């Protein structure tokens, strides 16, 4: 999903040299049972290969969700707004461990800032992004609430961030049309309120 994945259509250069060409994701069946480890670029091309992913929704104590804008250097869904962080766990890594790692790497949020990181949902989705690639994922949703909201975003990962009222975003999508939301976050939010 998410630190991503293919050179833009018409881009010069060899896609095998992209940093993600040396990375793997975990291919899974529809029930999230591990099948094999596959190359990350391969998993995000053509019709894609279903693989394991996660998205984390981070809140403050007042019901605001932290949205992070994906860096303009991302290959898929660049400059879109995400539900805090999203990525892929490595083989042998739990979803909670992977989420803790990405929260710290992307936003400087350490485990000392929350105590309630938990899995709340899981769903499968498939979406194409322009001519650049595809996401076909079994996506686990995790949530936590920060005790302190100090952040230290990595500009290579995060283009911007903002706190917004979660229920207001869900109930009034027309007011937030200027925020192009990542599809996995929109699905997670819609399911969260059903």
Angle at 63 between CA 62 and CA 64, to 5 degrees: 95
Residues 36, 137, 156, 157: which is the catalytic one?
Answer: 137
Residues recorded for the chain: 194
- Is 137 part of the annotated catalytic residue set? yes
CB 73 within 8 A of CB 154: no
Residue 183 backbone class (left: φ over 0; alpha: ψ -120 to 50; beta: rest): alpha
CB 76 within 8 A of CB 129: yes
Q: Which of 90, 60, 75 is nearest to 150 (CA)?
A: 60
Q: What is the CA radius of gyration of the chain?
A: 16
Q: Which residues are catalytic?
A: 137
């Amino acid at each position: 999903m998410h630190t991503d994945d293919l050179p833009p259509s018409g881009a010069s250069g060899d896609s095998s040299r992209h940093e993600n060409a040396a990375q793997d994701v975990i291919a899974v069946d529809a029930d999230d049972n591990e099948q094999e480890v596959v190359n990350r670029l391969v998993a995000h091309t053509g019709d894609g290969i279903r693989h394991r992913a996660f998205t984390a929704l981070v809140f403050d104590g007042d019901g605001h969700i932290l949205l992070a804008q994906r860096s303009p250097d991302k290959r898929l869904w660049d400059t879109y707004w995400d539900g805090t962080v999203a990525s892929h766990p490595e083989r042998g890594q739990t979803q909670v461990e992977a989420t803790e790692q990405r929260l710290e790497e992307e936003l400087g949020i350490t485990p000392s800032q929350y105590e309630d990181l938990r899995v709340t949902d899981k769903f499968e989705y498939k979406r194409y992004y322009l001519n650049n690639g595809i996401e076909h994922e079994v996506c686990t949703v995790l949530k936590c609430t920060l005790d302190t909201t100090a952040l230290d975003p990595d500009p290579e990962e995060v283009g911007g961030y903002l706190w917004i009222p979660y229920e207001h975003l869900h109930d009034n999508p027309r007011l937030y049309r200027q925020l192009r939301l990542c599809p996995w976050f929109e699905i997670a939010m819609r399911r969260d309120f059903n």
